[in-house]
Amino acid sequence: MRFFWLIIWSCLGLAPPVSGVGSPASISVTEPTELLGQRILYFEDPTGEESYASIQNKAPENWTISSQDIPTFGFTKSRFWLKMRIENPGSESAFRYLEAEYSHYDEIVFYVRRGQETKEIHLGDLKNFSERLIPFRNFIIPLTIEAQSEIEVLISCKTSGPLFFPIQLWTPDGLTVAKAKGDHFAGYYYGLLLAMLCYNFFLLITTRRPFYLYYCLYIGGFVMFQASLHGFAFPLLWPNAPGWANLCVAFFLGLSLFWMCVFTRNFLETRTQIPRADRLIQGLMLVSLTVMFLSIFVGYATAVRLGTVAALVLGLYLLGCSVYLLKRSYRPAYFYMLAFSMFLFGIVVNALKQLGILPQSFFAEYAIQIGP
């Protein structure tokens, strides 16, 4: 089984996670911005009972260095502690921003130590958006490093979803430019999806074919899922409802999976073309509704785990069904494969990433955004 995943990693140009024990070099404010995963020590606290004081007394051999640029741990109930040292070798003080480039940490606490003085900054997606120091969808804190000095930053984090740490240190100008580019891309992407929704709604009105309705409902659910997953929905739509902002990712995941199944059944006519396979698609529809129910009445953790596994199965199964119909020269399958093959593969890759089987990468993060 491990050999199988090594093949998958190799095909995607990725490397399996490897960790070691040691002491990474300090991070200099003069270095160009990059992901800091390999420059950070981490400690896993399975019980969640460790405190800042007890963590400070941990021996060096208790800490681990990840070889990944983005340390990835999948779904875990453990609390993780990260430690890094940031130095300023220059003759003037330096102002920087430290970013945890992920929107769904339930609780993330930054401990910034200068000499004997320690400052605590408590953040997380269970707090109102207005409580963030920097009004942005990810978690960012400001840092001032005096000339010829060094600070230590500890991060304590726990979340009910998948856990990974894309940590970066930015100059003010670098952060502004990077976030502007990211927001521009997001604007183009969501604008394109909404244009597709409007176009298919127009086709629904003119042709009255039901699969256009199902596609519109799927696109609407997918837009909300992506906007919630990447943190855009929280500040724009419900900044004072952190509880809903936390669970809506799982809710919209179930919603989009449900309408994807309905659209596929109608477009490929699976009930008549492949009746046995159609029964499993109906089962996946029931699972998708269960994910939505669990997200509201049970909790995010259970719902998102089930939803991630359902997305993995759905992506693989719909790819298999479409390939089977393609081999039978069923004409709609050609159009379905042309439109959705890359997207379904992206669902599989993204689900494996969320489960911690594949490491974080640009492709694993954004493959799902191709071809909805």
Q: Which residues of 43-70 are buried (b: 16+ CB within 10 A; e: fewer)?
A: bebeeeebeeeebeeeeeeebebbebbb
Q: What is the dihedral of CA 125, 128, 132, 135, to 10 degrees?
A: 100
Phi, psi of 109 (to 5 degrees): -120, 130
**Residues in the chain, overall count:** 372
Query: 14-170 has which fold?
Result: Immunoglobulin-like (2.60.40)
Q: Which residue in 215, 302, 267 sits closest to 223, CA to CA?
A: 215
Quote the pLDDT of residue 370.
65
Helix (H, G, I), strand (E, B) or coil at 223: helix
Helix ranges, 208-330 (H): 210-229, 233-237, 242-268, 270-273, 275-297, 300-327
Q: Which two tokens stand for residue 218?
A: 């799927």
Q: Which residues, in sequence order, are CB contacts of 126 under 8 Å at separation 6+?
A: 106, 107, 242, 243, 246
Helix (H, G, I), strand (E, B) or coil at 243: helix
Quote the pLDDT of residue 147.
92
Helices 242-268 and 275-297: angle between axes, nearest 10 degrees: 170
Quote the pLDDT of residue 12.
39
Residues of the chain below pLDDT 50: 1-18
For the chain, give every residue range classified as CATH 2.60.40.2380. 14-170
Question: pLDDT tens, 273-294?
Answer: 999 999 999 999 999 999 999 9
Query: In whole angstroms, what is the distance from residue 207 CA to residue 137 CA?
Result: 40
Quote the pLDDT of residue 32.
82
Cite the beta strand spans of the chain per DSSP E.
Answer: 19-20, 27-28, 41-45, 64-66, 72-75, 79-88, 94-100, 107-114, 117-123, 139-145, 149-158, 162-164, 167-170
Query: In whole angstroms, what is the distance from residue 2 CA to residue 361 CA?
Result: 20
